[in-house]
Structure 1
Amino acid sequence: MVDELPDSGEVDPVEAAEDEFDESYDPDTDTSGADDEESAGPPGPVNWNLLTADAAEEEWLALNEWVHWLRHTYGLPVAVCPPFWHRHPALVWELSALHIHWLCAIHPEAKGSAMLVWHRDFTEAQERLRHWTAACGTRLNTDRPTRRIAWPGEPDTDPIEDILIPNREEDFVEYMHADVQARRAEEDAFYRRLAGELE
């Protein structure tokens, strides 16, 4: 019914760029980088707006592995699960919510019907994913920024052009590193301001 899913470990970004999909990934043991102590109970929701740099890197890697497993297991088309989902916040939030929902459904404390509930919600989520994918215009080999409409009084948005991306995994790693570095820069700036206030 599904691929062989042995034990998973922390993903090396360099390996992620070389291997499109880690067939050893096991969603049953995926804890999104959490320690054993912290994973005693079902995981809570992920707020991408508030993640630290280190936490964001863990979430990116765990989500990327899980999305690969999801698309292979359920044979998802590009219209539902596009390669460059990581570039579009709407897709990141939706897939991240599905991932956490999955982890809760397979948790030992979950009810026996939890996976049925997950599959019901997954069916509904696919319609939303299809909508987000169509709205942002991402495709199999090309991507473009999600179109944003300028409201009255706002500056005009830049023209949107499709770009060809030949290697999806390399693009994911570069995008993830840029996000992590931006978060770390914000953290460093915050601590510098805090240190200045305490002087």
Structure 2
Amino acid sequence: MSSNWVADEDLDEIEDELFDDDGFNDEVAETPTSDDEAIGTPLPYLDQEVAEELISESPPTWLGTRWRDIPKADQADAWNGLRTWVDWLIREYRLPTAVVPPCWYKHPDITAELYAAMNMEYKVWEEQEPSLSPMMFWHTNLQQMIHRLRDAVTNAGCVSGGQHRDESPGAHELDYDEADWNQQVTTAHSTEQFDRPDQGVLYVRAGLVDTNGETVAHSEPVGIKHHEADQSPNVEIEYLSTTSHYNTLQVHWSNYSKAHRLTWETSLDGQTWEQHEPKGTR
């Protein structure tokens, strides 16, 4: 008995034909044009109101809602609507089971991809006016989605086995260190500035108090030492350039106050100095 499943190794040959111009035109020519003929797999169980909503000018009420947020009352309609659209997508673009397997609805990642694509395909045609959106957004992203779906189906292993394969329990669940997690999410931060002491060491610690003012926890103390670095003013000169007629000097000064001002001094003997007001700029 032949299988409807397409193995991964056969996908490359099939993908070469996905958007072949001649084949695509033939497929379009064979697409039913009658308003009475349904596209995709028949859904005999589909509610008549849902079917009418899917072919109406307005989108279904659930379309555009995040899949996990669709109300329970609309979930069955959403599943049926998505299946109708997926059947159309497979037929329209000749997608093999290596891209969309018959068990796609059992895989949350594949379902999410298809539902997102359904939203996008509706959006690019929403205005019903000539535009670049179908070519620039829909078909470009469709090709990218096909590759993502192929990877997802390959990882799921359903195609290679010829049937749906359930994932191992907890396969995509993280084993959290709950104590470490609780400490992370309940950790708060605050900053405070303390002046250095004039002498010695200032010890500081932080604590937590309850509503009664009782200390329930405190940190280890830290010490802030008196700063003993030299704070006296300092002036230094460096040569910037030298010519046969003059030298250009630059002065650097630090640890000064607003009461200080810069002066230049010259001397012919290094003993007697004459002050000059600076002519340059800082």
1:13 corresponds, among 45, 52, 56, to 45
Aligned to 1:103: 122
| Cα shift at 1:101 | 0.3
The aligned runs of 1:37-186 (5 Å cut-off) are: 44=64, 46-108=65-127, 112-116=131-135, 117-139=137-159, 141-147=162-168, 148=171, 151=174
Q: What is the CA-CA distance between 1:54 and the residue it aligns to?
A: 2.1
Number of matched residues?
136
CA contact (8 A) 1:32 1:59 kept: no
Moved over 6 A (4+): none
Deviates more, 1:84-93 or 1:52-61: 52-61
Identical-residue share of aligned pairs (%): 22
- CA drift at 1:107: 0.9
Structure 1 residue 152 displacement after superposition:
5.1
The one of 22, 27, 32 aligned to 1:4: 32
Q: Report the more deviating stretch, 144-153 or 115-124.
A: 144-153
Change (3 A) 1:14 1:29: closer
How far is the alpha carbon of 1:29 from its aligned partner?
A: 5.1
Report how far residue 52 of structure 1 moved.
1.4
User: Mind listing any 5+ residue stretches in structure 1 that lack a counterpart?
Assistant: 16-23, 155-199
Stretches of structure 2 lacking an aligned partner (at least 5 in a row): 1-24, 178-282
Is the Cα–Cα contact under 8 Å of residues 67 and 95 in structure 1 kept in the other structure? Answer: yes
Deviations 1:161-182 (A, max 9, x none): xxxxxxxxxxxxxxxxxxxxxx
How well do the aligned residues superpose, as a CA RMSD in angstroms? 3.4
CA distance in 1 between counterparts of 2:112 and 2:57 reads 18
Kindly state the Cα deviation for residue 53 of structure 1 after the two structures are TM-superposed. 1.7
The answer on 1:33 being equivalent to 2:65 is no
TM-score by length of 1: 0.57
Choose between structure 1 and 2: higher strand proportion: 2
**SS of residue in 1 equivalent to 2:158:** coil
State the structure with bigger RCO (CA 8 A, min sep 6), 1 or 2: 1
Superposed CA deviations along residues 102-151 of structure 1, whole A, max 9, x for unmatched, are: 00011126660111120000000111101111111223851012351565
Q: Which has the higher helix share?
A: 1
